Amino acid sequence: MVSSRLRGRAAALLAAGAFCVSSGYVRAQDKPTSTAFGAALSITRSTGAATVAVFTSRAIPTSGRLWTEFDQGAWARVNRGLVQVVNVVIEDEPGLARTMGVLRAPVAKVYVNTAKGVAHLATISECPTTEALVARLQALQIGVEVPAKADE
């Protein structure tokens, strides 16, 4: 009963509006949203799994490569279910990018669930490589570390 109520609530949130950052907390607003991004934030709200949104641009091919390497990399695989990773292409979601304050790519934004709701934890704008992005996420204590070769 509770899970169907949560599903209904999540669907109503997605249908009613988009998410934007206001005072550091994400609230339903009449702003543009990415369906994947909105769904990820709903899951963050209901399960507590953090959301990492990576903003990329087709005009900057290295940002697309960063996303592909990150999404298919060891850190993302190890943290599936614990952390959600979502790609937002700026050209496809210009309103969302503007609302989120993203002016250039690549940029990663991290959202977590708090007692007050879903909150923006960090913006990672200096992530030229997948390794740099993973290092910043680990410094924020998002997800778990990838096991060393000897541990596998």
Please determine, for residue 149, whether its predicted confidence score (pLDDT) is greater than 80: no
pLDDT in tens, 135-146: 999 999 999 887
The pLDDT confidence band at residue 15, using thresholds 50, 70 and 90, is very low
Average pLDDT over residues 4-30: 38
pLDDT in tens, 36-92: 999 999 999 999 999 999 999 999 999 999 999 999 999 999 999 899 999 999 999
pLDDT in tens, 76-132: 999 998 999 999 999 999 999 999 999 899 999 999 999 999 999 999 998 889 999
- How far apart (Å, rounded) are the C-alpha atoms in residues 68 and 98? 23
- pLDDT of 126 reads 84
Give pTM, 2 decimals. 0.75
Pairing of strands 25-29, 50-56: unpaired
Identify whether the C-beta of residue 63 lies closer than 8 Å to the C-beta of residue 102: no
- pLDDT of 29 reads 38
46: phi then psi, degrees, rounded to nearest 5: -85, -35
Q: How many CB atoms lie within 10 A of CB 23?
A: 9
26: phi then psi, degrees, rounded to nearest 5: -90, 130
- Bond prior to 32 in cis (omega within 30° of 0): no
Distances (CA, A) of 71 to 46, 83, 105, 112, 150: 23, 11, 16, 19, 23
60: left (phi over 0), alpha (psi -120 to 50) or beta: beta
